[in-house]
Every structure is written in C-alpha cells, then in structure tokens.
Amino acid sequence: MLILNITTLCCLCVVANETREYVLISCVYCREVWKFILLRLDPVCNLFSSWLQLLSWLRRGSAAAPKTMRTVVAQAAIFSSMASTQQTQQRSSQPRVNKGHKFV
C-alpha cells in the first residue's frame, strides 16, 4: 500500500485545511485581495465569510459595479488565488538546490 505524504493545510498560509471556501474566501492572503476589490467596487460591503455570500454579492449589481464587472473581477481573483496555490505547491515539491554551493 502506497501512503502519500500530502498535507491538507492551505499552502499559502499553512493555518487551516485547504477547502474551496477557505482558499478562496477565508485565507489571510485571499482576504487581502477581497478587501482591495471591495474597497474599489463596493466600499460599504463587509468581507465575505462564506461562498454563498460571495455568490450573493455577484448577483447584486450597482451603478458603480454592475454584475458583469463583479463577475469578471471575482473570476480574476479566484484564478489568481488558484494560480498562487499551484505555484506554491510546485515550489514546495521541487528539490531544494543550494545555489551558493560549488561542487568540486
């Protein structure tokens, strides 16, 4: 039987288990992205605490931030979060090479 040594912790913050909701909504790094987005598009909105709240926010529109704009920005934020997660996972799985060491 093969046992893989795979962590279930969020690879961005290593604080909690990596779930869709945590990685895209609750992770401290992603929360900073959402703070910036909401500051620009909907300054009176509180940060999302669940996937359902994000979906609800996407369905609402306003003159300053129509539904289409919210959807495009949310897709970019989600893509960025997932790309960062994948990059971090790839870096952690590659063997470390000491570039300062000279082989004789």
In terms of Cα–Cα distance, which of 11, 22, 24 is closest to 76? Answer: 24
Residue 93, domain member (yes or no): no
Domain span including residue 73: 20-88
Distance of alpha carbon 89 from alpha carbon 23, whole angstroms: 13
CB 57 within 8 A of CB 70: yes
pTM of the shown model: 0.71
pLDDT digits (tens, 9 = 90+) for 7-57: 778 777 788 888 888 888 888 888 999 999 999 999 988 999 998 999 999
Residue 65 included in any domain: yes
In a domain, 31, yes or no: yes
Q: How confident is the model at residue 97 (pLDDT cuts 50, 70, 90)?
A: very low
Would you list the DSSP string of 28-91?
A: HHHHHHHHHHHHHH-TTPPPP-SHHHHHHHHH---SSS-HHHHHHHHHHHHHHHHHHHHHHHHH
pLDDT above 80 (res 88)? no
Please count the structural domains in the chain. Answer: 1
Q: Cβ–Cβ contacts within 10 Å for residue 72, how many?
A: 11
Distance CA 57, CA 54 (A): 5
* Assigned domain for 84 exists: yes
